[in-house]
Amino acid sequence: MGFKCGIVGLPNVGKSTLFNALTKTAAAQAANYPFCTIEPNTGDVAVPDPRLSAIAKMAKSANIVPTRLTFVDIAGLVRGASKGEGLGNQFLANIRECDAIAHVLRCFVDDDITHVEGRIDPLSDAETIETELMLADLDSLERRVVPLRKRAGADKEAKEAVELMDAALELLREGKPARLVTVPKGSEKAFEMLNLLTAKPILYVCNVEEASAATGNALSDKIFERAAAEGAKAVVISAAIESELAQLPPEEQAEYMEAMGLSEPGLDRLIRAGYELLGLITYFTAGPKETRAWTITRGTRAPQAAGVIHSDFERGFIRAQTIAYEDFITLGEVKAKELGKARDEGKEYVVVDGDVMLFKFNT
């Protein structure tokens, strides 16, 4: 399990250029006109994690298998999308299928690349997108809540849904996103089932010019302030640099990044911010055949973590041999066992980021 992140934004902000760089493909056509992305392009990307190679070396693994995440390049949205303007209906349908929204904002000035609204103002762009998503949620809830109210008296689930809808409607009518709803304990799943666009976590991606890739600029600073106020995340990326970097062989990438004043690719920063946003962590399995990374939600217990590998592992779970990452790469599995660093954990064990695990289960 990784996560599915929809790349959204106004036309011509660099969404498709970023997607191409991240997935190292030319699947999405990057062109200087609105709606050049008609169908959402999907790309699976390996999650970079230096711990993988360290574990594989210690385990003498023949193969390394990283965990993966999915990026979806979604058509550019314009003002009025909630009413079907541009490719609005398609945009909204595609974004509902994503776990999080990577909102690309244009934080650079280039007279050769047109802006759909004729000015460079990422804060205003963010407001445009947010407003259209809120209007779409408002319309959706107002249509759905009416029949549910009629059932709420005798239907416990309908009553719960109506209460959650009313809480979201109150915020949306005040111009606030549904992610600000205080969800009662135990109602998290019911709220998730409402599938509201503005309830999805937001990651602002500030697309800056090459000279500002390492430090950001005045425009991106404003977005970071907005993200902090919302409890969202923000990263600075130069789509132009990422595009160049994606074309270079691995041995030349480090030199290119150093020349640009960068310590790591933008993809790494984007994934790290996305993981933090969604509360994701990684555990590992290791052996002579392969070392593999697995992504789970923070707080996941051992049986459910095993179920990410195969449902049979969760169903027949007995216990999990668990070695902390630092102990594994320092001692190895055999020595860790000898020194009592390999623990047998049961069904209540909460997996920790970096755990190296071996599951025992009944078939």
Task: Write out the binding residues for ATP.
Answer: 12-17
Distance CA 266, CA 245 (A): 10
Closest CA to 11 of 91, 131, 99: 91
CB-side neighbour CA atoms (13 Å) of 231: 7
Radius of gyration of the chain (CA): 23
Produce one character per residue of 307-338: b if its CB has 16 or more CB atoms within 10 Å, e if not.
bbeeeebbeebebbbbbbbebbbebbbeebee
Distance CA 255, CA 265 (A): 12
Which residues lie across from 69 on neighbouring strands?
45
Please report, in angstroms and rounded to a whole number, the separation of the first and last CA atoms in the chain.
23
What does the chain come to in residues?
A: 363
Please give the backbone phi and psi of residue 321, each rounded to the nearest 5 degrees, phi first.
-75, 125
Please give the backbone phi and psi of residue 253, each rounded to the nearest 5 degrees, phi first.
-65, -40
User: Can you say which residues are annotated as belonging to the binding site?
Assistant: 12-17
